[in-house]
């Protein structure tokens, strides 16, 4: 995809002005190195994953960005006592909650997700009137025609699902185009039994990590995650799905809602170990620790050249 851009060589040359390039996943790093190789030959890429051009050497590395795990856990716990979260809890009428939180963007796979939820209700009729899906999708780029069309399509899809399956005391999908304070979202995450994160392409997706970090470890929810999100490289205990496969997403919804407590706890514990290993503080530290020797080496080279 990068090489398809007419300005690809200029973009890569500009990136190579930096001493260190950090990528979210190993796949992203390999794609970048492959692009450099395709443009200028294998000789420009070193065995240490560096790229050398015009006498300048740029290091590359994999630094998956994380979240503040402990802060999120505290925020989620405190938010459970807020009026907004309590209103959500009461409004569910003891039904399990599936939640999605995404910008209104075509990359987030929302149309495919809405179709999968409708298929889920069709194929698992015992779940009708028993589960509520809340999709929070704040508006973005409202002056771009493609986003206006996407909003209309999502409203139509949600309306179709509710028209087919709603009952006097049950709205299958609650579709909200508004922002909520971050601490309230963490409370919603803790309240939810399932979180749906199914972008068709995403460099990382921190919502997936925030959901895991916000869970009650004694009774955690389950993450349904697109294999096309960078977070999937780390959160292997999520239920990984192809975001274009509505049947697979529907099956994952059912699996998440019926998963035994012991399995949910085990998956959550392993995911938390990953999040703590790659939290925002470790990300910051590893990035700088990798950069500092490069800076020292460059300074020594400049001194030698001056001598």
pLDDT, position 126: 95
Degrees, nearest 5: CA angle 145-150-153? 130
User: What distance in Å separates the CA atoms of residue 108 and residue 99, rounded to the nearest whole number?
Assistant: 14
Beta-strand relationship, 239-241 and 56-62: unpaired
* pLDDT on residue 253: 98
Residue 24: name the closest of 59, 62, 50 by CA.
62
Q: Is 98 in contact with 258 (CB distance < 8 Å)? A: no
Asked if residue 12 lies in contact with residue 39, where contact means CB atoms within 8 angstroms, the answer is yes
Q: How crowded is residue 165: how many other Cβ atoms within 10 Å of its Cβ?
A: 19
Domain boundaries, the chain: 1-63, 69-260
Q: Could you please state the CATH topology (level 3) that the domain comprising 69-260 is classified under.
A: Rossmann fold (3.40.50)
Name the 3-class secondary structure at 149. helix
Which of 300, 282, 305 shows the shortest CA–CA distance to 62? 282
Matching residue, tokens 């149309």: 111
Task: Write the DSSP assignment of 13-32 as a string of letters.
Answer: HHHTTSSEEEESSHHHHHHH
Find the helix packing angle between 110-123 and 246-258, rounded to 10°: 60
Tens place of pLDDT for every residue, the chain, 307 residues?
888 999 999 999 999 999 999 999 999 999 999 999 999 999 999 999 999 998 899 999 999 999 999 999 999 999 999 999 999 999 999 999 999 999 999 999 999 999 999 999 999 999 999 999 999 998 877 788 888 999 999 999 999 999 999 999 999 999 999 999 999 999 999 999 999 999 999 999 999 999 999 999 999 999 999 999 999 999 999 999 999 999 999 999 999 999 999 999 999 999 999 999 999 999 999 999 999 888 667 655 555 666 5
- Count of alpha carbons within 13 angstroms of residue 158, beta-carbon side: 20
Residue ranges of E strands in 150-207? 173-176, 194-197
3-state secondary structure of 281: helix
What pLDDT shows up at residue 282?
93
Q: Considering the entire predicted model, what is its pTM? A: 0.92
Decide if 18 contacts 58 (C-beta within 8 A).
yes
pLDDT at 306: 62
Long-range contacts of 180-183 (CB under 8 A, 24+ apart): 180/84, 180/136, 182/75, 183/75, 183/78, 183/79, 183/82
What count of other Cβ atoms lies within 10 Å of the Cβ of residue 105? 17
């Amino acid at each position: 995809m990068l090489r398809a851009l007419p300005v690809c060589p200029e973009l890569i040359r500009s990136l190579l002005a930096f001493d260190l390039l950090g990528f979210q996943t190993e796949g992203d790093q390999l794609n970048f190195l492959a692009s450099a190789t395709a443009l200028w030959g294998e000789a420009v890429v070193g065995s240490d994953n560096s790229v050398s051009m015009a006498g300048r050497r740029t290091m590359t590395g994999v630094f998956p960005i994380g979240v503040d795990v402990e802060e999120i856990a505290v925020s989620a716990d405190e938010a459970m006592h807020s009026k907004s979260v309590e209103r959500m809890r009461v409004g569910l009428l003891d039904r399990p909650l599936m939640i999605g939180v995404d910008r209104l963007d075509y990359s987030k796979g929302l149309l495919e997700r809405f179709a999968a939820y409708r298929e889920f209700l069709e194929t698992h009729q015992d779940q009708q009137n028993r589960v509520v899906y809340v999709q929070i999708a704040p508006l973005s780029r409202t002056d771009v025609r493609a986003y206006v069309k996407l909003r209309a399509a999502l409203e139509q899809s949600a309306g179709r699902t509710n028209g087919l399956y709603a009952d006097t005391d049950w709205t299958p999908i609650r579709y909200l185009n508004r922002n909520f304070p971050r601490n309230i979202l963490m409370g919603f995450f803790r309240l939810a039994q399932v979180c749906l994160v199914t972008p068709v392409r995403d460099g990382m997706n921190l919502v997936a990590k925030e959901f895991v970090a916000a869970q009650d470890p004694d009774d955690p929810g389950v993450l349904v995650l697109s294999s096309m999100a960078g977070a999937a490289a780390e959160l292997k205990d999520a239920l990984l799905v192809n975001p274009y496969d509505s049947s697979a997403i529907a099956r994952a919804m059912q699996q998440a809602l019926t998963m035994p407590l012991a399995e949910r706890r085990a998956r959550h514990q392993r995911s938390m170990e990953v999040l703590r290993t790659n939290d925002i503080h470790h990300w910051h530290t590893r990035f700088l620790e990798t950069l500092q020797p490069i800076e020292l080496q460059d300074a020594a080279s400049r001194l030698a050249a001056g001598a």
